[in-house]
Chains A and B, each alone.
Chain A
Amino acid sequence: MSAISVRGLRKSYGALEAVRGVDFDVERGEVFGLLGPNGAGKTTTVEILEGYRKRDGGSVEVLGTDPALAGSGWREQIGVVLQSSAMYETLTTAESLRLFAGYYSSPRPVDDVVELIGLRDQRDQVVRRLSGGQRRRLDLGLALVGDPELIFLDEPTTGFDPHARRQAWETLRSLRGLGKTIVLTTHYLDEAERLADRVAVLRRGEVVAVGPPADLIGAAPATEIRYRENGREVVLETDSPTRVLHELTAKAIAENRELEGLVVRRPSLEEVYLTLTEEQPE
């Protein structure tokens, strides 16, 4: 059974249709990315899955339960990392984790979580004195301390410097090793590409593509071949680059000339994403 199943999900805020008929499934043990620009409906979708918002239409099941009707038993099984990392500034790392651990019937030991999020040296430091990256890791720790089956991460590395992002990625990869199902939203492509098994790309409240990052790249615009001929740039787009390239090079060799500035390029996920999320005139 899927961890999450979403069908025809809709949500409006007044006249604004934030989510317009979204479908996707998340399998157990999978890392699933919701990718899209700001305002695409990522946070609204995730907050409906977390039980924060009521949907206007469609059906949603998270761990077999409708989150709009879910109670404490269901909350035992999910962990949530929100965009803002609000916590009690005057407690230490360990005190914060202990406080939240007490809300669950079978929490993960606090010291295990401290190790997992790499805050051993900050164990007895008050939250107010933690750096931005350390706070974010504690934030993750608070979501993990209940030992949930399913973890939601809303833009886990937004506002991080490159070093802190890499550290956060390491931590998230170690979560995968625990066999947890993870749903993360992000507008960073490299993040989705590195962390997610599959991504759904959202554009203006609709899913425009779903699949493993590699497949999305494969399904997208063709391979590009560029070279210069008589000083003019030639650009070819093709779905069969091997054949085209062979013909080009065979011809050039036969004519004993060089294909100047020859480049063969696969599109990056970034280009796929830009193509998918480009605003099209209606």
Chain B
Amino acid sequence: MRLFRHELKGELLLYTRSRELAFFTFLLPMIFFLLLASVYGNDRIKSEGNVRSAPFLEAGMIGYGAISIAFAGLAIVLVIRRESGILKRLRATPLPAPVYVSALLSAFLAAFAVEVVGLLAIGRAFFSVALPHHAFSLVLALLLGAISFCGLGIGLSALIKSAEGASAVVNAIYLPSAFISGSFFSPHSYPGFLRAIADVLPLTYFLRLVRNVMLHGHEIWSQGTNVAILAAWGVAGVIVAVRSFRWEPTEG
């Protein structure tokens, strides 16, 4: 426990020192929320039961924040640490691997928690979005989503071979994924082939889950399908991670 706390403190320090993480994965969802909600926050979305855009976008940016922090940010950090040899160096210390991994994940979950609080505060202050009613369901939903995206992030990091390629590969996956799953727009207005892709993406189910809880007053236990598919993706990521995770840089 002492080791966990020590490593978590270190990871949080590292997180706040990284300008790339701070901007691209942490600030960007809030900036997009501010921009987009300023432009059409008061419009009504017919295909989404006539909800106002601002709360719809707020939930969308929570999903975008989850995929960019827990998935993209974590995957890039892990590839860079592995390829630069930091993971190899850590292996030589008495820090046990499970303690390291859980502290690393906790730091990213903490960053996501701050992100959500930030988005809720922006929504409340500038776009008169009410705070969610089912706070407990929302916390569970966010935790499930963040952990699943962490699992996928670790899994993806194991498949990327070089630090140079990390950002490119990760961006090519999570940015289109955020668009297609409906972080920014209602996916109901998409052409059929995009909706077909959206139907397999984990973010789609996370967004449905979060919007059902935040906008439509559902509790998480009424959301079996969304929860199951999201969790299945997370488990798939963990399986890939366990099978092909490496501590050492890719050779030549």
A residues engaging B (CB < 8 A)? 50-52, 72-73, 75-76, 78-80, 82, 84-88, 90-91, 95, 99-100, 102-105, 142-143, 146
Interface size class of B (residues with CB under 8 A): 20 to 34
Complex alpha-carbon distance, A51 and B88, angstroms: 11
> Which residues of the other chain, B, contact A90 by a CB distance below 8 angstroms?
14, 17-18
Known contacts A95-B13, A102-B6, A102-B10; is-contact A86 B95 (Cβ 8 Å):
no
Bitwise, B11-40 to A at CB < 8 A (1) or not (0) is 001100110000000000000000000000
Minimal beta-carbon separation of B77 from chain A (angstroms): 11
For residue B161, CB closer than 8 A to chain A, the reply is no
Asked if B13 and A76 sit within 8 Å, CB to CB, the answer is: no
> Which residues of the other chain, A, contact B13 by a CB distance below 8 angstroms?
91, 95
Known contacts A86-B85, A87-B86, A91-B13; is-contact A104 B92 (Cβ 8 Å):
no
For residue B91, CB closer than 8 A to chain A, the reply is yes
Taking each of B84, B91, B93, B249, which has the highest tally of chain A beta carbons within 10 Å of its own beta carbon? B93
Asked if A103 and B85 sit within 8 Å, CB to CB, the answer is: no
Asked if A84 and B94 sit within 8 Å, CB to CB, the answer is: no
Contact of B94 among A72, A87, A143 (CB under 8 A): A72
Complex alpha-carbon distance, A271 and B248, angstroms: 37
Known contacts A72-B96, A86-B85, A90-B14; is-contact A103 B3 (Cβ 8 Å):
yes
Complex alpha-carbon distance, A88 and B12, angstroms: 13
Majority secondary structure, B binding face: helix
Complex alpha-carbon distance, A244 and B249, angstroms: 58
Bitwise, B74-107 to A at CB < 8 A (1) or not (0) is 0000000100111011011111100000000000
Asked if B86 and A76 sit within 8 Å, CB to CB, the answer is: no
Asked if B85 and A75 sit within 8 Å, CB to CB, the answer is: no
Question: In chain A, what residue has the closest Cβ to B5?
Answer: A102
Asked if B17 and A50 sit within 8 Å, CB to CB, the answer is: no
Complex alpha-carbon distance, A143 and B94, angstroms: 12
> Which residues of the other chain, A, contact B84 by a CB distance below 8 angstroms?
84, 86
Complex alpha-carbon distance, A72 and B93, angstroms: 8
Asked if A82 and B94 sit within 8 Å, CB to CB, the answer is: no
> Which residues of the other chain, A, contact B93 by a CB distance below 8 angstroms?
75, 100, 103-104, 146
Complex alpha-carbon distance, A102 and B85, angstroms: 20
Asked if B94 and A75 sit within 8 Å, CB to CB, the answer is: yes
Asked if A84 and B85 sit within 8 Å, CB to CB, the answer is: yes
Complex alpha-carbon distance, A54 and B86, angstroms: 20
Asked if A76 and B18 sit within 8 Å, CB to CB, the answer is: no
Asked if A80 and B94 sit within 8 Å, CB to CB, the answer is: no
Minimal beta-carbon separation of B103 from chain A (angstroms): 11
Asked if B3 and A88 sit within 8 Å, CB to CB, the answer is: no
In the complex, given contacts A86-B85, A87-B89, what are 9 additional A-B residue pairs having Cβ atoms less than 8 angstroms apart?
A51-B92, A78-B92, A82-B85, A82-B89, A90-B18, A91-B13, A103-B6, A103-B94, A103-B95
Asked if A82 and B3 sit within 8 Å, CB to CB, the answer is: no
> Which residues of the other chain, B, contact A84 by a CB distance below 8 angstroms?
84-85, 249
Asked if B89 and A52 sit within 8 Å, CB to CB, the answer is: no
Complex alpha-carbon distance, A80 and B85, angstroms: 12
Contact of A86 among B17, B88, B94 (CB under 8 A): B88
Asked if B88 and A82 sit within 8 Å, CB to CB, the answer is: yes
Asked if A52 and B91 sit within 8 Å, CB to CB, the answer is: yes
Asked if A102 and B248 sit within 8 Å, CB to CB, the answer is: no
Complex alpha-carbon distance, A85 and B84, angstroms: 8
Asked if B96 and A99 sit within 8 Å, CB to CB, the answer is: no
Question: In chain B, what residue has the closest Cβ to A53?
Answer: B248
Q: What are some 28 contacts across the A-B interface (CB < 8 A)?
A: A50-B92, A51-B92, A52-B88, A52-B91, A72-B95, A72-B96, A73-B94, A75-B93, A76-B94, A78-B92, A82-B85, A82-B89, A82-B92, A84-B249, A86-B85, A86-B86, A87-B86, A88-B86, A90-B18, A95-B13, A100-B93, A102-B3, A102-B6, A102-B7, A103-B6, A104-B94, A142-B89, A143-B92
